[in-house]
Amino acid sequence: MATTLFILRRLLQAVVVVFIVTIVVFCLLHSLPGGPARGVLGVHATAQQIAQFNSEQGLDRPLPVQYVLYLGQLLRGDLGESFTLNAPVSQLIVQRLPKTLVLTLAQAVLALVVAIPVGMWQARRRNRPSDYVLTTVSLVLYSTPVFFFGLILIALLTQVIPVLPSQAPSGDTLAQVFSDPAGLVLPIVTGAAAMVAVFSRFMRSATLENLDEDFVRTARAGGSSMRSILTRHVFRNSLTPVVAMLGYYVPVLFGGSLVVEQLFNYPGMGLLFWNAAQSSDFPVLLGCVLVIAVATVCGTLLADVLQAIIDPRVKTTRS
Amino acid sequence: MSTLLQSTPELAVAAGPTGGSLAWRRFRRNRLAVIGLAVVIFFVLFCFVGPLVYHTDQTRTDLHAINLAPSAGHPLGTDAVGHDQLGRLMYGGTVSLMVGIAAGLLAIVIGMVWGSTAGYLGGWVETVMMRVVDAGIAIPALFILLVISAISTPHVLGLIVILGLVSWLVPSRLIRAETLTLKNRDYVLTLRAFGGGHTRAIGRHILPNSISTIVVSATFQIADAILLVAYVSYLGLGVQAPQTDWGGMLSQGLDAAYAGRWWLIVPPGVAIILVVCAFNAIGDGLRDAFAVRGR
C-alpha cells in the first residue's frame, strides 16, 4: 500500500516536472532574438517577414495563450519543422533516437561488465595498494573529457597502430549501422570509459556497505567462503542500486552521446543536435531538449520505482 | 542555556579554529588530497606567473612557424597558426581556471540561496522550488549550453554566468537537505523565539553551520565546471579567438590526431585531467576531513 502511494506520488511529481520543462523550453523559444519566427524563418529574415509570420501563426497573441497552443501542439506530437533538413522534427528524432539508444546501451553494458567486478574486487581489498591504484585510475578516467579520451584512442588505434576505422558506420537504418561492427568499437569504448569510473566507484561503496551487514557475518559464521558470500549475497544486494543508477544517469548518457557521436560521426541524435547547433536550427535543438528531458524524468521515475519495489526501505530515506 | 551560548557569534568564532585545525589535520593525512592541492597551486603559478617569465606572442599569428614539432625554441611545438604551445598552455589555462573557478563559485552561491530558502520555508513553496530543480536537472547542461551559444556568442564573463546558471542545481539539493536538519535545531528556534528574522536565521545560523557541505560541494563544482568549460570550448562554443582555453586548444585536436601532431592534443588534455583530478581529490579529502556525506 505504502509502495503504491509512493509510486503514485512520484508519478505526479514527474508530470509536474515535465510541465515545468515545457515552460523552460517555451521561454527559450521566445528568448530567441526575433522569437520563434526567427527560429522558423532563419537568421536572414527581415523584420517585415517576421511580423507577417507572427500574425499568421498567432504569435502576436498574449504569451499564456500561446503557451496553451504550444502545449496542444506538443500533445499531438508536433515538434515543429526543421528548416535546414526540410522535415518534421519529430520524424528526425524518431529516425535518430534508436541509433543513439543502441550505442548508449552498448556503452552502458560494457561499462557495467567491467565496473561491477572491479568495484567488488576493490571493496574486498579495501585500503590495500591495489585498491588505491584502481581508485586513482577511476579518478583519472572520471576527470578525463570524453572527447580527449576519444582523440587519444583515435591517434593510437587508427594512426600509430592502424587496427580500427576512425569513423563510425553511417547509414539511415540500424541494419546499416550494424553492418560494420569494427567501426562501432571506438565509439562504444570511448563512451564506456567515463561510465566505468562512476559505476566502479559506486559498486565499491555499495559492496563495502553490504559487507558490514549482519547477513554477511552470519554467513561467515556459518562457514561460507568469502567468494560465495560475495557472489551469492553481496552481489545481488549491490546490484539493485547500481542498475537503478542507470536510470538517474540518463542525462549523462545523452550528454556523452553528443560528444561521442560528434567525434566519430555516428548518425544518432547527438550528431543531429550538434549539426543543428552549428546551423542555429532551433526547432530541432528545442525538440531534442524536450525529448531528452522527458527521457530523463522517465529514467529517474523508473529508478525510484524499481528501488521502492525491490527495497521498501527506500521510501523512508528518499522522497 | 547552553544553546543560547552557542548562538552568540563570538563563541562560534572562538570554537572555529579548533574544528578547522582538526579538519586540516585530517585533510593532511589524505595523501591524494595533498597532492591535489599541490597540483592546483602549481597550475595557478604556471598560468598566472609563468607568462611573466616565459614571454610569447599569443595574439598575432606567425605563419613562418606553423605546426613545428617540439624543439629548444618551442618546448611544446607550435600550432596551425604558429602560436607557441607552451605559452598557449599558460594563456589558455588562465581562462580555463578563471572561468571554471568563478562558475563553480557562482553555482554554489545560487544553490545556497535557493536550497536554504526552499528548505527553510518548507510547504508548497519548497515543493515548487524543488520541482524546478528537478526540471533543470532533466535538461543536460551541455545541451542547454549549445542552445544558448546558438543564440549568442559568449565572452569570458558571459561564459561564467551561463555556466553558473546551469550548474547550481545539485548544490541546491544538498544545501536544502542540510537546511532541513538544521532549521529545527535549538539555536535556530531560540533565535526565532526571541524575534530574530528569517534572513538572520538563514544567514547567521543555517548557512554558517552548513559550511562544510558548502565547501566540499564547491570543490566538486569547480572540478565539474572546468570540465564543462572544456566541453563547451571543444564543441567550438567557448571564448573567441585569439583568446582560448584548454578545451579550445583541443578543438583542432581531430586534425592533429590524424596528422600525428601529438603536442597539440596531449599537453592541454593532460592539463585538464590533472586540474580536474586535483579538485576532485581535494573535494574527497575535504569531505572525509569534515565527515560530510554526499557524492
Ranges A27-36, A78-87, A94-103, B211-220: which has the least confidence = A27-36
pLDDT tens sequence across B250-264: 887 677 767 777 777
Query: Region A60-67: what's the mean pLDDT?
Result: 76
Query: Region B137-153: what's the mean pLDDT?
Result: 79
**Torsion angle of the four alpha carbons A297, A33, B251, B161, in this order, in degrees rounded to the nearest 10:** -70
| Of B32, B135, B272, Cβ closest to residue A145 | B272
A86 found inside a domain:
no
Phi, psi of B84 (to 5 degrees): -70, 130
Q: Is the pLDDT of residue B72 over 70?
A: no
Q: Report CB contact under 8 Å: B147, A285.
A: yes
Between residues B73 and A219, the one the model is more confident about = A219
A81 found inside a domain:
no
Angle separating helix axes A282-310 and A89-124, nearest 10 degrees: 40
A316 found inside a domain:
no
Phi, psi of B65 (to 5 degrees): -130, 55
Q: Report CB contact under 8 Å: A13, B253.
A: no
Contact call for residues B97 and B84 (beta carbons, < 8 A): no
Q: Report CB contact under 8 Å: A143, B141.
A: no
| Residue A243 CA neighbour count, 13 Å, CB half | 11
Same domain, A230 and A278: yes
pLDDT tens sequence across B94-107: 888 999 999 999 99
Same domain, A295 and A170: yes
B273: closest CA among B230, B234, B209, B211? B230
Distance CA A97, CA A249 (A): 17
Q: Give the per-residue pLDDT at B80.
A: 67
Contact call for residues B188 and B205 (beta carbons, < 8 A): yes
To test the contact with chain A by mutation, choose from B126, B139, B288 the residue with the greatest count of A C-beta atoms within 10 A, namely: B139
Distance CA A36, CA B294 (A): 41
Indicate the residue among A75, A106, A130 that finishes a domain. Answer: A75
Between residues A299 and B263, the one the model is more confident about = A299
Distance CA A60, CA A72 (A): 18
Query: Region B218-223: what's the mean pLDDT?
Result: 89
Same domain, A107 and A193: yes
Same domain, A71 and A166: no
Can you give the CATH number for the domain in which A247 is found? Answer: 1.10.3720.10
A25 found inside a domain:
yes
A88 found inside a domain:
no
Q: Give the per-residue pLDDT at B2.
A: 41
Q: Is the peptide bond before B242 cis (omega within 30 degrees of 0)?
A: yes
Which band of pLDDT confidence, cut at 50, 70 and 90, is reported for residue A297?
confident
pLDDT tens sequence across B170-193: 888 888 888 888 888 888 788 877
Contact call for residues B261 and B269 (beta carbons, < 8 A): no
- Report how many domains make up chain A: 2
Q: Is B130 on the interface with A (CB under 8 A)?
A: no
Q: How many residues does chain B have?
A: 295
Q: Which domain holds residue A218?
A: 94-310
Indicate the residue among A46, A75, A104 that finishes a domain. Answer: A75
- Expressed in angstroms, the distance from the first to the final Cα of chain A is 16
Same domain, A31 and A178: no
Same domain, A120 and A214: yes
User: Based on C-alpha coordinates, what's the Rg of chain A?
Assistant: 24
Between residues A119 and B11, the one the model is more confident about = A119
Same domain, A148 and A245: yes
Residue with cell 598575432: B60
Indicate the residue among A43, A75, A107 that finishes a domain. Answer: A75
Task: Tell me the ipTM for this assembly.
Answer: 0.80
Long-range contacts for A162-169 (Cβ within 8 Å, ≥24 apart)? A166/A264, A166/B258, A167/A264, A167/A265, A168/A261, A168/A264, A168/A265, A168/A266, A168/A267, A169/A266
Q: Classify residue A185 by burial, with Cβ atoms within 10 Å: 0-12, 13-18, 19+.
A: middle
Q: Report CB contact under 8 Å: B143, A289.
A: yes
| Of B151, B230, B273, Cβ closest to residue A33 | B151
Phi, psi of A87 (to 5 degrees): -150, 155
Nearest Cα of chain A lies from the Cα of B246 at a distance, in angstroms, of: 11
pLDDT tens sequence across A219-229: 877 877 777 77
Q: Is the pLDDT of residue B109 over 90?
A: yes
Q: Is the pTM of this model over 0.90?
A: no
**Torsion angle of the four alpha carbons A76, A81, A85, A86, in this order, in degrees rounded to the nearest 10:** 100
Cβ-based neighbours of A147, under 8 Å, separated by 6 or more: A259, A262, A263, B231, B234, B250, B253
Same domain, A146 and A229: yes
Contact call for residues A33 and A41 (beta carbons, < 8 A): no
Which three three-digit cell numbers place residue A50? 517576421
Distance CA A257, CA B262 (A): 25
Question: Closest-CA residue in chain A for B279?
Answer: A143
Contact call for residues A280 and A38 (beta carbons, < 8 A): no
Ranges A26-35, A168-177, A229-238, B11-20: which has the least confidence = B11-20
Nearest Cα of chain B lies from the Cα of A25 at a distance, in angstroms, of: 10
CB atoms within 10 A of CB A276: 25
Same domain, A167 and A277: yes
Same domain, A153 and A182: yes
pLDDT tens sequence across A264-275: 888 888 888 888
Contacts of A32 in chain B (CB under 8 A): 151
Cβ-based neighbours of A120, under 8 Å, separated by 6 or more: A203, A204, A207, A230, A234, A235, A238
Which three three-digit cell numbers place residue B203? 544567514
| Residue A236 CA neighbour count, 13 Å, CB half | 9
Summary mean pLDDT of chain A:
80
β-bridge mates for residue A286, sequence order:
none
Nearest Cα of chain A lies from the Cα of B277 at a distance, in angstroms, of: 5
> A75 in helix, strand or coil?
helix
Contact call for residues B273 and B96 (beta carbons, < 8 A): no
Distance CA B151, CA B136 (A): 19
Same domain, A107 and A146: yes
Contact call for residues A251 and B140 (beta carbons, < 8 A): yes
Q: Report CB contact under 8 Å: B143, A147.
A: no
CA distances from A292 to A61, A87, A286, B138, B215 (A): 29, 20, 10, 8, 31
Distance CA A247, CA B248 (A): 32
A85 found inside a domain:
no
A83 found inside a domain:
no
> B66 in helix, strand or coil?
coil
Which band of pLDDT confidence, cut at 50, 70 and 90, is reported for residue B18?
low
Nearest Cα of chain B lies from the Cα of A225 at a distance, in angstroms, of: 32
pLDDT tens sequence across A3-20: 788 888 888 888 888 888
B191: closest CA among B14, B7, B9? B7
Same domain, A160 and A46: no
Distance CA A243, CA B211 (A): 33
Q: Is B269 on the interface with A (CB under 8 A)?
A: yes
| Of A33, A147, A276, Cβ closest to residue B250 | A147
A318 found inside a domain:
no
Q: Is B181 on the interface with A (CB under 8 A)?
A: no
| Element at A134 (helix H, strand E) | helix A129-143
Query: Region A299-314: what's the mean pLDDT?
Result: 76
